[in-house]
A and B are shown apart, each in its own frame.
Chain A
Amino acid sequence: MLTQILNLIILLFVPFLMMGIIKKTKAFWAGKKGASVFQPIFDFVRLIKKDFVISNTTSVVFKITPIISIATAIAAALFVPLAFGKAVINIPAGIIVFAYTLGLGKFFALISAMDTGSSFEGMGASREASFTTIVEPAFFTVIASIMALTGNYTFDSLTQILDNAGNYGVLIIIFAVVALFLMILIEGSRVPVDDPATHLELTMIHEVMILDNSGSDLALIMWANSIKMFLISSLIANILLPQTLETYTFAGLYLLIMFAISVIIGTIESGMARIRMSHVFEFVFIMSSLALVVLSLVVARMFGG
């Protein structure tokens, strides 16, 4: 029970803190002091208190989307193992519920963007949709391969790779982690795929889809987005940590990994330019290639010599 309450607290605060740490890292590399790491929490509180403006060309879809976004993000969080290596709802094939709960949120984000009738938001929706279609099979390949390897179809399998993979264990972990890390960059709309800091509506992917959202609606969408990034990072942490660790050591290392992921994202954003939009597909396909490597390693382990 205590661990579940702690999980809930982590779910509430760590997504914001990750955003804050990314910004702090970027400020550090730019030689600036930067805002406090708690700034995203303050921003959330500030926005949630505000009223919102809704364009009169929109329909009900636009109004319910922020709620659906945050609801699906939190619902998806229940199926993912967080700081204690156990999901709140730990069922076989939780991955499918997880992926398509998030998928539902994304579907509404897309149609809500189109609902505004703005030419920018349509462009953003089309970009986001096309990248997601490539990310989805790659994500399933990585996680399903690991599940097949361990024979355990719950998310618990993530922590059991070393026990089942023998010599292949380290390799599978490395490739799976890198693939999921790329997924964070793509789904979390980070550099080099997207630029969360830009104001240029023609170059945005995710940001342009929420141009019309304001006030508390915007706060919910931003929160949902940070939770999504946090959930994928959680998967990485669980792959890296073996299940044999003692409960609180596991949680401590988990938080350390979340911190490290944020710092790495911030560093990448500081030292790298965005990829040209027409070349983003090539970047997304790197994730697919890595997923296939994971699959072949698992196949080699299970059916090979």
Chain B
Amino acid sequence: MNWIKTKNNSKLNLKDIPCLKIHELREEIIHENKRPVAFFGKDWGNGEVKLFIVLADDKNGELLVSSALFKKGETFYESITKDIPSFHIFEREFYEDFKIEPLHHPWLKPVRKNQKEYPFFEMEGEEVHQVAVGPIHAGVIEPGHFRFMCNGETVYHLEIMLGYQHKGVEELMVKNPSNQLAESIVGDSVIAYNTAYSQAMETLRGIKISDKAKLIRMLALEMERAAIHIGDMGAVAGDIAYAMGAAVFGVTRTLVINTMLEFCGSRFGRGLVNVGGVNFDIDEEKIQRAQQTFKKVEKDVDRMTKTMLKNASVMSRLEKTGTVSTEKALEIGLVGMAAKASGVDLDSRFDFPDELMNTLQIVRKPFKGVGDVNSRFKLRYKEIKESLSIIRKILEELKSLKDEPVLDNGYYLNQKDAFVISIVEGWRGEVVHIAMTDNTGALSRYKIKDPSFNNWYGLALAVRNNGISDFPLCNKSFNLSYSGNDL
């Protein structure tokens, strides 16, 4: 066996993971031709490095895991990217961390370290000019450097250099894992990150959480999705100077996050999720108030979206701006929202479903996107509607589960020599956490992959041949995380 098959949130024994030679593994990957979910190294002692790879079989809800060992002195291998381009960012990261070079990689540039030596792609010509933006930006956003190659107002090429937020989260996670750290990694995906971390720890320790706790987590996750999507729709409206949209969506988002504040004391859901369940129960009075609020939210979002989509000046800005075609999306391996908008239906809520999804009768509804800003805008609207319908179901369900406990705070030990994959569909896409333990049960490697890691390159492709003044609009329609990429 060259692969071991597993599911989301299930435990593997480290010694059960096949260990191949790298050229065999490379052939296996090309033979399987599946989507990479994780591709990372671990220091194996004595100068050896072990490369772990997780592929997703989205159709069957399975994850394929394998590994390869690099002996001391083995410092290169034939790149996988030249056959499967979606590996490009993973191989760059692996090279940056362990200095094992993928030969014939077409775009072997720094990911988050060594920006001082970043080799920018440059075009030459009398009419070509460069525009450098950042790392400090005009708005209150994270740092990142953007280099445009333009001819007049048209962008030929955009190169995105990140890494200003690199803070060594994965190492911190190994040293001192905690919910507080997990939920601070990406500030707009607090619930997704904290749930992914908690699920990984629960699987590692064999904790079974109550249905009520699971429902509250799911509720919070959908609230996070709805809140951020509404906020982003407002931000898109703001970028095209449609003041009314910006104002209405801004107010509506506040209603959602203020409901979160009522549930757990933090508008962004900090402190809600914990290993073993959730920290806060939701009583009937709060449920009723939330139901009222979400009715109003749905009404407002419906009305404003319809007004915007009917406005010709708005549509002329959104349509055919920043297009990423389905082929390109598949080729570079977009995930989550950006992939869905380009017509690639990836959603780990449905690809790796929890049994609760069936109990609540939540069905997948396809979305026909063409990959432009308009598609991403409409996808957000569709996801808000879906999230609100899931929220309605969960709130109804919670009423009947009055007395169930929400937190199991017993003392459990990590399993030794284990390998756990935990995937949560945050609003941006799949948030992947992988935890490994050593022979004492302590964490020995913690790998995090944010959807932004895959999707930043999609933004670079989206702005090609667009006006440079449309870049902020494209950027806002993706709304990718700097911190999640830089870790």
Contact among B132, B243, B469 with A197 in the assembled complex (CB-CB below 8 Å): B243
Stretch in B11-19, B69-77, B308-316 touching the partner: B308-316
Q: How far, in whole Å, are A277 and B243 apart by their CA atoms in the complex?
A: 18
> Given the complex, which residues of B lie within 8 Å of A271, measured CB to CB?
244, 311
Kindly state whether residue A300 has any CB partner on chain B within 8 Å: no
Beyond A32-B247, A273-B311, whether A195 also contacts B241 by CB under 8 A is: yes
Q: How far, in whole Å, are A269 and B240 apart by their CA atoms in the complex?
A: 11
Q: How far, in whole Å, are A271 and B314 apart by their CA atoms in the complex?
A: 10
Contact among A120, A201, A273 with B317 in the assembled complex (CB-CB below 8 Å): A273
Beyond A30-B247, A31-B251, A202-B133, whether A276 also contacts B241 by CB under 8 A is: no
Give per-residue flags for B123-150: 1 if the beta carbon is below 8 A from chain A beta carbons, else 0.
Answer: 0000001111100001100000000000
Give per-residue flags for A137-150: 1 if the beta carbon is below 8 A from chain B beta carbons, else 0.
Answer: 00000000000000
Kindly state whether residue B327 has any CB partner on chain A within 8 Å: no
Query: Interface residues of A: mostly helix, strand, loop or mixed?
Result: loop
Kindly state whether residue B467 has any CB partner on chain A within 8 Å: yes
Give per-residue flags for A271-286: 1 if the beta carbon is below 8 A from chain B beta carbons, else 0.
Answer: 1111111110000000
Kindly state whether residue B353 has any CB partner on chain A within 8 Å: no
Q: How far, in whole Å, are A30 and B237 apart by their CA atoms in the complex?
A: 13
Q: How far, in whole Å, are A120 and B470 apart by their CA atoms in the complex?
A: 14
Kindly state whether residue B153 has any CB partner on chain A within 8 Å: yes
Q: How far, in whole Å, are A204 and B409 apart by their CA atoms in the complex?
A: 54
Interface pair A202/B241, CB less than 8 Å apart: no
How many residues of B are counted as interface, with CB atoms below 8 angstroms from the partner's CB atoms?
31
How many residues of A are counted as interface, with CB atoms below 8 angstroms from the partner's CB atoms?
29
Kindly state whether residue A203 has any CB partner on chain B within 8 Å: yes
Q: Which residues 274-305 of A sit at the B interface, judged by CB distance below 8 A? A: 274-279
Q: Which residues 189-243 of B sit at the A interface, judged by CB distance below 8 A? A: 237, 239-243
Kindly state whether residue B468 has any CB partner on chain A within 8 Å: yes
Q: Which residues 107-166 of A sit at the B interface, judged by CB distance below 8 A? A: 119-120, 123
> Given the complex, which residues of A lie within 8 Å of B317, measured CB to CB?
273-276
Q: Which residues 16-32 of A sit at the B interface, judged by CB distance below 8 A? A: 26, 29-32
Question: Among the interface residues A270, A272, A275, which one has the most CB atoms of the partner chain B within 10 A?
Answer: A272
Contact among A29, A200, A270, A272 with B239 in the assembled complex (CB-CB below 8 Å): A200
> Given the complex, which residues of A lie within 8 Å of B130, measured CB to CB?
119
Kindly state whether residue A191 has any CB partner on chain B within 8 Å: yes
Interface pair A269/B243, CB less than 8 Å apart: yes
Q: How far, in whole Å, are A195 and B314 apart by their CA atoms in the complex?
A: 14
Kindly state whether residue B472 has any CB partner on chain A within 8 Å: yes
Interface pair B244/A192, CB less than 8 Å apart: no
Kindly state whether residue A57 has any CB partner on chain B within 8 Å: no
Beyond A269-B241, A273-B242, A275-B313, whether A31 also contacts B247 by CB under 8 A is: yes
> Given the complex, which residues of A lie within 8 Å of B314, measured CB to CB?
273
Interface pair A203/B472, CB less than 8 Å apart: yes
Contact among B240, B311, B321, B471 with A202 in the assembled complex (CB-CB below 8 Å): B471
- What is the CB-to-nearest-CB distance from B466 to chain A, in angstroms, rounded to a whole number? 10
Q: How far, in whole Å, are A29 and B248 apart by their CA atoms in the complex?
A: 10
Q: How far, in whole Å, are A270 and B139 apart by their CA atoms in the complex?
A: 21
- What is the CB-to-nearest-CB distance from A117 to chain B, in angstroms, rounded to a whole number? 12
> Given the complex, which residues of B lie within 8 Å of A201, measured CB to CB?
133, 138
Q: How far, in whole Å, are A200 and B468 apart by their CA atoms in the complex?
A: 11
Q: Give the 3 A-B CB pairs with smallest separation, nearest first.
A: A30-B247, A195-B241, A273-B240
A-B contact pairs, 30 of them (CB 8 A): A29-B244, A30-B243, A31-B247, A31-B248, A119-B129, A119-B132, A120-B131, A123-B153, A191-B241, A192-B313, A197-B243, A199-B139, A201-B133, A202-B133, A202-B472, A203-B469, A269-B243, A272-B241, A272-B242, A272-B311, A273-B241, A273-B242, A273-B314, A273-B317, A274-B242, A275-B316, A276-B469, A277-B153, A278-B467, A279-B316
Using a CB–CB distance below 8 Å, which chain A residues touch chain B? Answer: 26, 29-32, 119-120, 123, 191-192, 195, 197-203, 269-279
